[in-house]
Amino acid sequence: MGHLCDFCGEQRSIVYCRSDAACLCLSCDRNVHSANALSRRHSRTLLCERCNSQPASVRCAEENMSLCQNCDWNGHGGSTSSSAHKRQSINCYSGCPSASELSRIWSFVLDFTSMDDPNCERGMGLMSIDENSVSNCWGPSEMNNKVDVAVSSGNNDMENMEKFDMWMESSSMPTLNAMQCGVDQPAGSLDSTAPKLSSPGTKGLELCEDDLYEDFSVADVDLNFENYDELFGVSQSHSEHLFENGGIDSLFGMKDITGADSNCQGSSGGKVTAKQPACSSAVSGDSTMSTKTEPIISYAARQANSSRSLSFSGFTGESSAGDYQDCGVSSMLGMGEPPWYPPGTEGSFTSAGRDSAVLRYREKKKARKFDKKIRYASRKARADVRRRVKGRFVKAGDAYDYDPLCQTRSY
DNA sequence: GCACATGAAGCAGCCACAAAAAGCG
DNA sequence: CGCGCTTTTTGTGGCTGCTTCATGT
């Protein structure tokens, strides 16, 4: 018997809500998170069945258990036999799925047949793709999808690239485990095929100090798919069909991670499309959308047809980098979801190796500075003695209102 | 709880010009 | 390939105006 629900204290907790930091049974999960639009956006995932306290990040097919990162490491990190276990990443969901949908989708976990609730009829219509599920919804290999991550901030500044590199270096993130895609396209829009991403509060993209993986605060990254139909040109029934077929894969974005997923090469290989041209199939983040108004029609979407590029905007340059401090691509990391290491690559890290990587990351992070750097002292020296008018440089000999040398002002 | 006003904070852009970088023969 | 010259690009800081956010009424 696992951990009891934090809310009712009676049922076994199944779901972990990151926003509430609570372990909930499915019934309470549904009740709590159907209360309002805000709570529906809470990111939830399965609860680790080993420690019963942390959100599960992977599911071990051999042990038939959902495991958090730590338990996964402990269980699969060292032993060669167990490390070969076939595992699947588990991503988060939000919204208020109907019980029947849950029952279908989570059939491998448990049976929810007694949970049907007409109050939650929106069901899968409110299922949102959170950061994690995007990677899967966009790119199951069998769908021949390709996901390019374009990190754009107007112009793709190197700071963001550096941050992306840092993240890639430290985690070798194999998937786009982090996006909650939003679509806010008016019906009939010419560019209706181009879903738009936004990340309200992108400034909040931040890495906390606690842990390399737990650092990624994706609660601040709130990207939702809306208007799924317009986006993908697929009816909801179709999407349900996709869920049916995809099962938990569709909901949690689980995918087979024992095999190299070509769809994730864009991220796993660190491929970053610096700037994405406007294109109908592109997911442009240039225009922001609000996730707080329209009913969220979000799906762990499997997009079946085209290669799409996902671009992120809202990443600010160094001047504002202090706000998110670390990884400009934290939006690409799932709901605080630790990245998955494919076996044979970083996934074969031992615990010591991981500790070493974490240590290196932290040292590098500590050494990182976001203060303004003076690249040319001579230019600074020159600027320091330049006369100005209202802060602007003036030509030599022109009238000025501020002279740094004598601190005189004409006003 | 909502609407509105106010203040604080953050940010981009502007300016001239020397230094650095790039281009060319 | 290296040199010298010319042209182009870059970076520097204080201030303003704008936007966003928080707080109070």
**pLDDT (tens digit, 0 to 9) for every residue of chain A, 411 residues total?**
556 776 666 677 777 776 666 777 777 777 666 655 556 666 677 788 887 777 777 777 777 778 877 778 777 765 556 666 777 776 666 666 655 555 554 555 444 334 333 333 333 333 333 333 333 333 333 333 333 333 333 333 333 434 444 443 343 333 333 333 333 333 333 233 333 333 333 333 333 333 333 333 333 333 333 333 333 333 333 333 333 333 333 333 333 333 333 333 333 333 333 333 333 333 333 333 333 333 222 333 333 333 333 333 333 333 333 333 333 333 333 333 333 343 344 444 466 777 777 777 666 655 555 556 788 888 888 898 889 998 999 998 888 888 877 755 544
Distance measured from the CA of protein residue A180 to the C1' of nucleotide C19, in angstroms = 26
Q: What local confidence, expressed as pLDDT, does residue A33 receive? A: 67
* CA A384 to C1' B16, whole Å: 13
Nucleotide closest to A375 measured between CA and C1': C11
CA of A404 to C1' of C3 (A): 40
pTM: 0.33
A 374-393 residues, CB < 7 A, strand C: 374-376, 379-380, 382-384, 386, 388, 390-393
Q: Which residues contact A15 (CB under 8 A, 6 or more apart)?
A: A23, A24, A25, A26, A29, A44, A45, A46, A47
User: Within 13 Å of residue A240, how many CA atoms lie on the same side as its CB?
Assistant: 15
| Structure confidence at residue A325 (pLDDT) | 32
According to the model, what pLDDT value does residue A2 have?
58
Domain range annotation of chain A = 15-77+84-109
Bases along strand C below 7 A from a protein CB: 10-16, 21
Three-class SS string for A87-104?
EEECCCEECCCCHHHHHH
| Per-position DSSP letters for A22-85, written without gaps between them | EEE-HHHHHHHHTSSHHHHT--EEEBPTTTSSSB--EEETTTTEEE-HHHHHHHHSS-HHHHTS
Contact A119, A97 (CB under 8 A): no
DSSP labels, A258-303: SS--GGGHHHHTT-EESSPPP-TTEEB-SS---SSSSPP-------
Here the tokens at position A204 are: 């909040």
Whether CB of A404 is under 7 Å from strand C: the answer is yes
A86 sits within 7 Å of strand C by its CB: no
CA A150 to C1' B21, in angstroms, rounded, equals 29
Our measurement of CA A148 to C1' C25, in angstroms, reads 50
